[in-house]
Amino acid sequence: MPDTGPIANATVALRLAEALARHGVVTTFGQSLPSAFHLAAPHAGISQTVYRQENMGGAMADGYARVSRRVGVVTAQNGPAATLLVPPLAEALKASIPVLALVQEVTRDTTDKNAFQEFDHFKLFEGVAKFVRRIDRADRLEDYVDMAFTAATSGRPGPAVLLLPADLLIEKAAAASRRRAFLGEFPLDRTLADPARIEEAAALLATAARPVVIAGGGVHISGAADELAALQQDAHLPVATTFMGKGSVDETHPLSIGVMGNTLGRGARAHELRAMVAEADVVLLVGNRTNQNGTDSWTLYPRDARYIHIDPDSSEIGRNYEALRLAGDAKLTLAALRQAMLRQDLAARAAARPQVEAQIAKAVEGWRTLVAGVTTRDGGPVRPERVAAEIDRRMPADGIMVADASYSSNWINIYMTAKRAGQRFLTPRGLAGLGWGVPMAIGAQVAAPGSRVVCLVGDGGFGHSWAELETLRRLDLPVTVVVLNNGILGFQKHAEDTKFGDHTVACDFAEVDHAAIARACGIAGVRVARGEEVGPALDAAFASGKPTLIEVMTDPDGKPPLTMYGGYPEPF
pLDDT at 3: 46
Please indicate, yes or no, whether residues 356 and 394 belong to a single structural domain of this protein.
no
pLDDT at 4: 45
Beta carbons of 272 and 255 less than 8 angstroms apart = no
pLDDT of 9 higher than 80: no
- HEC states along 537-560? HHHHHHHHCCCEEEEEEECCCCCC
pLDDT at 175: 83
Number of domains in the chain: 3
Alpha-carbon span 340 to 521, nearest angstrom: 57
Alpha-carbon span 215 to 420, nearest angstrom: 15
pLDDT at 568: 63
Residue 89 within a domain: yes
Burial tier of 322 (Cβ tally within 10 Å: 0-12, 13-18, 19+): exposed
Alpha-carbon span 411 to 491, nearest angstrom: 12
Please indicate, yes or no, whether residues 443 and 467 belong to a single structural domain of this protein.
yes
Residue 300 within a domain: yes
Beta carbons of 534 and 390 less than 8 angstroms apart = yes
| Length of the chain (residues) | 572
Please indicate, yes or no, whether residues 441 and 518 belong to a single structural domain of this protein.
yes
Q: Is residue 8 very low, low, confident or very high in pLDDT (cuts 50, 70, 90)?
A: low
Q: Which residue has the higher pLDDT, 89 or 570?
A: 89
Over the stretch 132-142, which tens digit does the pLDDT of each residue have? 999 999 999 99
Beta carbons of 391 and 455 less than 8 angstroms apart = no
pLDDT of 174 higher than 90: no
Q: Residue 70 sits in which domain range?
A: 12-170
Over the stretch 429-475, which tens digit does the pLDDT of each residue have? 999 999 999 999 999 999 999 999 999 999 999 999 999 999 999 99
Q: Is residue 279 very low, low, confident or very high in pLDDT (cuts 50, 70, 90)?
A: very high
Looking up residue 275, the CATH number of its domain turns out to be 3.40.50.1220
Name the nearest CA neighbour of 2 among 41, 48, 51: 41
Please indicate, yes or no, whether residues 349 and 476 belong to a single structural domain of this protein.
no
Looking up residue 550, the CATH number of its domain turns out to be 3.40.50.970
Burial tier of 107 (Cβ tally within 10 Å: 0-12, 13-18, 19+): middle
**What are the residue ranges of helices labelled H in 173-224?**
195-207, 218-222
Q: Is residue 572 very low, low, confident or very high in pLDDT (cuts 50, 70, 90)?
A: confident
Residue 370 within a domain: no
Residue 185 within a domain: no
Over the stretch 54-76, which tens digit does the pLDDT of each residue have? 999 999 999 999 999 999 999 99
pLDDT of 379 higher than 90: yes
How many Å is the Cα radius of gyration of the chain?
24
pLDDT at 209: 98
Which of 311, 328, 361 lies at the terminal end of a domain, its last residue? 361
pLDDT of 182 higher than 50: yes
Residue 175 within a domain: no
